[in-house]
Amino acid sequence: MTGHIAILGVFVADTTYRADRAPRMGETILGNSFALGPGGKGSNQAVAAARAGGQAHFITKLGQDTFADLALETWNSAGVQPAVTQHEDAYTGAANIFVEEATGDNAIIICPGVASTINTADVEAQSNLIGSASVFMTQLEQPIEAAMRALEIAKAGGAQTILNPAPAAELPKDIFPLCDFITPNESEAEGLTGIAVVDLATAEAAAAALLELGVGTALITLGENGVLIGSHEGATHIPAMNAGAIVETTGAGDAFNGGFAVALAEGLGVDEATRFGCATAAISVTRPGAAASMPARPEIDELLADNP
């Protein structure tokens, strides 16, 4: 029987403003459009996992406000099982995203809100859920100390552990041996290893450096070039899949991680689980939004069948 997936992370409400240019200090300008939607890497990954057929539990903290309502509605719709506490004396996280209309370039202010206070005691309060998981996954949007304690509990319980080291941050050396899998993109891999990832050869070198730090398996995500798997048995390249015209790449990494976690929980090997993650990501980029773009299981199975 497939075991559950426990994910520790952050929810933020993405407020996106599109305009011809950014306002100068003290200036008010008219924008072209506004959108409000669910965001946060951990939340996006939980939605991706649930929609891909996984039994996904999401651990975080919310306020008691409208953005918390958005989080709960998002998870309910996707089938995510929340393991959250709500706090009336703090606010749910939010992101202010400015997009320059002509170029698509963006500038972002993120305020994690009450999720920035997730600590080791919060994690230990969920130790039964984390310790009994088939797969545990976290990122770096909540404090690193909390992520590290959760990885320790998961490893002790026998879960397969995944660290998605995003956003990029300096990490304590003790965290790497707790990671059965680490899933950086090119820039995150460079930040962790000092090796600029520009092709498969440099991706393989970065993966080898992560193995030296104590990671079990390194998966370097390469966007349109797929994923480089580095393990102690050698390196394997899994190409990306084409599911149609690319609309928006926001959330593609979260889609990959959520799909990969589901496949691991179902007992697939690393190569096949990586292909499952690639299929999940390939479909997500054909749609706008992050959480809103995550595909359902039948869509993923169909794309995999078309790409044997």
301 catalytic, yes or no? Answer: no
From the centroid of its chain, how far is CA 137?
Answer: 9
Please give the model's pTM, rounded to 2 decimal places: 0.93
Question: H-helix or E-strand containing 261?
Answer: helix 252-265
Per-residue pLDDT, 248: 79
Instruction: Give pLDDT tens digits for 206-254.
Output: 999 999 999 999 999 998 899 999 999 999 999 999 998 888 777 889 9
Find the domain containing 181 and state its range.
Answer: 5-306
Query: 3-state DSSP call for residue 109?
Result: strand
Instruction: Give pLDDT tens digits for 64-113.
Output: 999 999 999 999 999 999 999 999 999 999 999 888 888 877 888 889 89
Per-residue pLDDT, 227: 97
DSSP 51: H
Tell me, what CATH number does 299's domain have? 3.40.1190.20
**Which of 65, 122, 180, 254 does the annotation list as catalytic?**
254
**In this structure, what are the phi and psi dihedrals at residue 112, rounded to the nearest 5 degrees?**
-65, -15
Instruction: Give pLDDT tens digits for 253-285.
Output: 999 999 999 999 999 999 999 999 999 999 998
Per-residue pLDDT, 1: 41
Domain count, the chain: 1
Query: 3-state DSSP call for residue 87?
Result: strand
pLDDT at 154 over 60: yes
